[in-house]
Chains A and B, each alone.
Chain A
Amino acid sequence: AQKVTQAQTEISVVEKEDVTLDCVYETRDTTYYLFWYKQPPSGELVFLIRRNSFDEQNEISGRYSWNFQKSTSSFNFTITASQVVDSAVYFCALSEVNTPLVFGKGTRLSVIA
């Protein structure tokens, strides 16, 4: 069965520090999809990235970057030069083909000015 583990429950950093959020997943399928969502205090989950299992290329989008490593079943998320607006709960999620999206428990990030 598919499973997502986010071992870091809460992280606090000072503004402008870099921070990495860890995500480890389990699946028996060779085809699967990994996601990151951000949940700000307003409550609405906001999509950040989707990756399929055949694309291990790392991705960078502005201050955000993602490191996908199949060898360690990890899909980590790094925020460079963090800002107060990055404060939120971040969820890693996994779906196998045509199965429901399974979320981790989330990591609460607090960026202090």
Chain B
Amino acid sequence: EAGVAQSPRYKIIEKRQSVAFWCNPISGHATLYWYQQILGQGPKLLIQFQNNGVVDDSQLPKDRFSAERLKGVDSTLKIQPAKLEDSAVYLCASSPGWFGTNEKLFFGSGTQLSVL
């Protein structure tokens, strides 16, 4: 079974530029998550999708971050414009169930973003 795929693996940009990350979850998984992991900290949820609808985006900085999950499969996370404090690893995860917050999550390897 293929795991959660993310790209790119690394990205370096200058502040005020824009950047996009892509995630392909495990086939058939209804719920998709984007997490931000700052160095030395645990992952923090940015947004949760159930199929193509948003379940929770309360911690997403909506003035600069946006995300979509077209057709309930792939997802993209965009930052525009980027700030220095956005430097982090962006992890995508998926889970099969409808109320996935209480079940096992499958994570991708993440995209490491450096904002200079």
Contacts and interface: CB of A to CB of B under 8 A. Distances in A.
B109 A47 contact: no
Nearest to B45: A100
Nearest to B46: A100
Interface stretch (B14-22, B36-44, B65-73): B36-44
Contacts, number: 55
B102 A95 contact: yes
A102 B42 CA distance: 8
Nearest to A48: B104
B85 interface: no
Contact of A105 (B41, B103, B104, B110): B41
A105 B37 CA distance: 10
Interface stretch (A12-20, A37-45, A66-74, A75-83): A37-45
A101 B44 CA distance: 8
Interface residues of B, number: 25
A57 interface: no
Given A43-B110, A45-B107, A104 B101 contact: no
Contacts of B104: 35, 47, 50
Contacts of B48: 100
Nearest to A100: B45
A46 B33 CA distance: 15
B61 to A, nearest CB: 16
B24 to A, nearest CB: 14
The listed residue with most A CB atoms (<10 A of its CB), out of B48, B99, B105, is B105
B28 to A, nearest CB: 17
Nearest to A42: B109
B74 to A, nearest CB: 18
Contact of B108 (A44, A93, A102, A106): A44
- List the 7 closest A-B pairs by CB distance, nearest first: A103-B42, A45-B107, A100-B45, A44-B109, A43-B109, A47-B104, A43-B110
